[in-house]
Amino acid sequence: MKTLRFILVVFAILASTAYSKAQPGNATLTEDGAVVVNTQEPLQSVYMLDASNFNFTSEQDAITYFAAKNSEYVSYRPVLQNNVIMVYLQVKTRPDWTKADWNAYFVENKIKSKISDPSQQLTK
């Protein structure tokens, strides 16, 4: 009975650890339109960005907009029903990059200009 209880406790701890690592981190957007990953948290491969920073009229508009922003290092997937943009870092392509390196990349590759209308941003 003690062995079974021990196994259950170990399983619960492992499941809790795996669940916490599977949760996406939170990213923010600067006024200049650069994504920022929190440097106080461990680097993750997936982040959530608040979609209310954008004024998309449809999911398709958001998909089209972010398709032009995708790169070999970062992919964006809008999930407007949850009001988030999922940001997928391709960490395997740059395993040596730190959070500061990723943030520097985002400064050079902004996803939003100061124009608030996404339809105008598509033509820049």
b (16+ CB within 10 A) / e for 52-82: eebebeeeebbeebbeebeeebbbbebebee
Per-residue pLDDT reduced to its tens digit, 7-64: 555 555 554 444 445 689 999 999 999 999 998 899 999 999 999 989 899 999 999 9
Pairing state between β 74-79 and 35-37: unpaired
CA separation for the pair 116, 19 (Å, rounded):
36
Q: What is the pTM (predicted TM-score) of this model?
A: 0.74
How is the chain split into domains, by residue range?
Answer: 25-121
